[in-house]
Amino acid sequence: MGRYLIKQPDGRLAIYSDGVDAWLQQDLTADEYVAYRIAQAAKEAERDARLRATEVLAADYGIEMSFAEANATAKAHGHEVLPGPLDEKLYAEMMMERKGGY
């Protein structure tokens, strides 16, 4: 299923969806089409961000990386460390790798 941008006979733009087999928008100028796409992208980004934030807040642990792991990685690369736990073992391993040893 897709959405198609189609040039109307009068030179304006229309958006057709084969998912619902209907026109979604019609009589758009190029600028109106751009504004429409920006608004759609913003809605999708907000939905995705809210879903992701809800997933992470509901978990008892970091989904990709724990807070302590992120702090250790930041410290190992010389960046800011936030108040809270730091994975000392991971930090030591990363520092050993940087020095070329094990």
**19: CB partners within 8 A, 6+ apart:** 1, 2, 3
pLDDT of residue 101: 59
pLDDT of residue 51: 93
Asked if 53 and 95 sit in the same domain, the reply is: no
Asked if 49 and 85 sit in the same domain, the reply is: no
pLDDT of residue 84: 94
Q: What is the mean pLDDT of each run of 10 residues along the chain (102 residues)?
A: 93 95 96 97 97 87 81 94 95 89 56
Asked if 46 and 17 sit in the same domain, the reply is: yes
Query: For residue 41, what are the domain limits?
Result: 3-58
What's the domain count of the chain? 2
pLDDT of residue 99: 82
Asked if 12 and 51 sit in the same domain, the reply is: yes
Asked if 22 and 49 sit in the same domain, the reply is: yes
pLDDT of residue 70: 93
pLDDT of residue 98: 84
Asked if 15 and 54 sit in the same domain, the reply is: yes
Asked if 7 and 54 sit in the same domain, the reply is: yes
Asked if 54 and 77 sit in the same domain, the reply is: no
* Beta-sheet strand order (sheet of 22-28): 3-7, 13-17, 22-28
Asked if 54 and 79 sit in the same domain, the reply is: no
DSSP string, 46-92: HHHHHHHHHHHHHSSS-SSS-HHHHHHHHHHTT----SS---HHHHH
Asked if 94 and 52 sit in the same domain, the reply is: no
Asked if 50 and 80 sit in the same domain, the reply is: no
Asked if 36 and 11 sit in the same domain, the reply is: yes
